[in-house]
Amino acid sequence: MVSSSAMAKPPFASRLHLVWVFCIAIISSLAVSTSFAELQRLEHAAKRDDGSLSFLVVGDWGRRGLYNQSKVALQMGRIGEQLDIDFVVSTGDNFYGHGLKNVNDPAFLESFKNIYTAKSLQKQWYSVLGNHDYRGNIEAQLSPALRKIDSRWFCQRSFIVNAGIAEFFFVDTTPFVNKYLVDKDHNYDWRGVSPRATYLSDLLQDLKQALNKSSAKWKIVVGHHAIRSAGHHGDTPELISLLLPMLKAYNVDMYMNGHDHCLEHISSVDNPIQYLTSGAGSKAWRGDIKRYNNRAMKFYHDGQGFMSVKLAGSDAEIAFYDVLGRVLYTWKASKQLHSTM
Ligand SMILES: [Zn+2]
């Protein structure tokens, strides 16, 4: 018989995986027994008679204008005007490298208010939090006091925006990721998240209810971390385990994220979900691209830029732009075509 002291310890990754399997079991059991509140819901009225929408998506931007943030902002203003956008979506990592210190942190002015100054960008910004935001004072970034400084700012952990033909489900993805819990190099502000298993269980249950109720033509989920990516960080296994099955079950059309500092379109090979990474609002050019399924990978740009989305009835049109505002890639889809895509 082998004594426990003589048994080899499993490698760290395996132990982490075991912990995560245990967590999933707890989360699943909690999902059955706990009662839930609804996610905060906002109504964004379409401004066009036909109900069509257009918006920009940018992520990983807040660097006081550096790393070409200002150049990307300038082009967002130009394209935003061309498309007469309704709003802007921020996919998180809003303020580098450690979020905001407090509501009076000058980074809010230097990285947001004084950077995105174009007339066309004076619209509502719907933002999620990224892992770098969690390294600062999370309550500051969520505080309504910021909206007194700049009324465009709207950032919550998880929330819903109903914009008529499209419903947006913003999801706080940082608490899903195991490695931040054992990250000894950085502090994370987990206020409002602990205990984590309950937080994730409630969030998933709320999201499930909201997706189930949605009758919008287009269902779009936004989070900071990629479900699928060939970039430096790659796929997020925790989101593949816990979030993706729900997205498939409730016919979500698109998942939009940042985190990897690139522009990227990955298509599903067995369902209609499109994975769109727009995390190139400032620092980019990492030069670290993983091999990926050729059938799924549609587009990858290892550089700065942003994305635009137009939705009109059953039709969607996506475009990616580089730091000079040049169109790098476009993709069009029609809901009726999903069965053949
Ligand atoms: Zn990130």
CATH of the domain at 208: 3.60.21.10
Residue 34's pLDDT band (cuts 50, 70, 90): very low
Q: Is residue 47 part of a domain?
A: yes
The alpha carbon of 161 and the centre of ligand 1 are apart by a number of angstroms equal to 22
Is 131 within any annotated ligand binding site?
yes
> What share of the chain has pLDDT > 70, as a percent?
88
Among 121, 133, 135, smallest CA distance to 172 is for: 133
What mean pLDDT comes out for the span 219-224? 98
Domain of residue 125 covers 11-340
Is 186 within any annotated ligand binding site?
no
Tell whether the model's pLDDT for residue 267 goes beyond 80.
Answer: yes
The alpha carbon of 174 and the centre of ligand 1 are apart by a number of angstroms equal to 8
Q: Is residue 258 part of a domain?
A: yes
Q: Is residue 5 part of a domain?
A: no
Question: 283-310 pLDDT, tens per residue?
Answer: 998 888 888 888 899 999 999 999 999 9
Residue bearing the bigger pLDDT, 293 or 86:
86
The alpha carbon of 260 and the centre of ligand 1 are apart by a number of angstroms equal to 7
Q: Is residue 255 part of a domain?
A: yes
In the prediction, which pLDDT does 11 show?
A: 52
The alpha carbon of 266 and the centre of ligand 1 are apart by a number of angstroms equal to 19
Residue 123 burial (10 A CB sphere; 0-12, 13-18, 19+): middle
In the prediction, which pLDDT does 15 show?
A: 52
Active site residues: 233
pTM of the model: 0.89
Handedness of CA 292, 298, 300, 306 (dihedral sign): negative
Token pair in block for residue 240: 């593949």
What mean pLDDT comes out for the span 192-216? 97
Q: Is residue 6 part of a domain?
A: no
> How many structural domains does the chain have?
1
In the prediction, which pLDDT does 38 show?
A: 84
Is 224 within any annotated ligand binding site?
yes
Q: Is residue 41 part of a domain?
A: yes
In the prediction, which pLDDT does 294 show?
A: 83
Residue 28's pLDDT band (cuts 50, 70, 90): very low
Q: Is residue 57 part of a domain?
A: yes
* Distances, alpha carbon 5 to alpha carbons 8, 9, 65, 112, in Å: 8, 9, 55, 55
